[in-house]
Structure 1
Amino acid sequence: MKSTLGIIISDSKLTIIGFTMSEAFEYVDSLWSFLRKNLPKTSWSSIAIEVAGISSLNKLSFKWAVSIDIDDDSLFEEILLNLTENNFLTNKKIEII
């Protein structure tokens, strides 16, 4: 069974939740390559990528999240559209939270 990734979209930040630690860093590598290939170099400084571990108090286990913080609204929309068209660069099921 494929695991599901949760997508949280806010004003200028896109967060993808549900990775294992190794998957999160592999995803960042894919995301980095995708963005550098598809965006002009002048826009690179407007984008920050963050990796975080998330745990509840019920059990000491982590799910990992990758966030993309984008300073430019039109660039945010372009990236969101590109990632949506490419299933967020993953073969996992996607759920908008």
Structure 2
Amino acid sequence: MAAYVIFCITNVHDEERLAEYRCQVVPLLEATPGVKFFAGPMPLTVEKGPPITYGVVVECADLEAAKRWYYSEDYQRVAAIRHEASDGFAFIVASWTGPVH
């Protein structure tokens, strides 16, 4: 089942540095087989939570592929730029088709 790496940027300290991150991460995502990504500024918050400036969703084939991509040396090198330029959080969620209780 598919898994998704979700990035929520809540504050940008350095727009130029964040632009550098985007310039490096987009080719990395495009070069990763089976990965799709969606990004956009100012997502609509529909429930209580911190204001989000940017939202990004990276779709991977499964949980293991999502973890491999996120923890890869290549991505972690680029992620350091995002961490310097902004505040936010990320998480991975895997889809499932089991029963809901």
Query: TM-score, normalising length from structure 1?
Result: 0.50
**Structure of higher RCO (CA pairs closer than 8 Å, 6+ residues apart):** 2
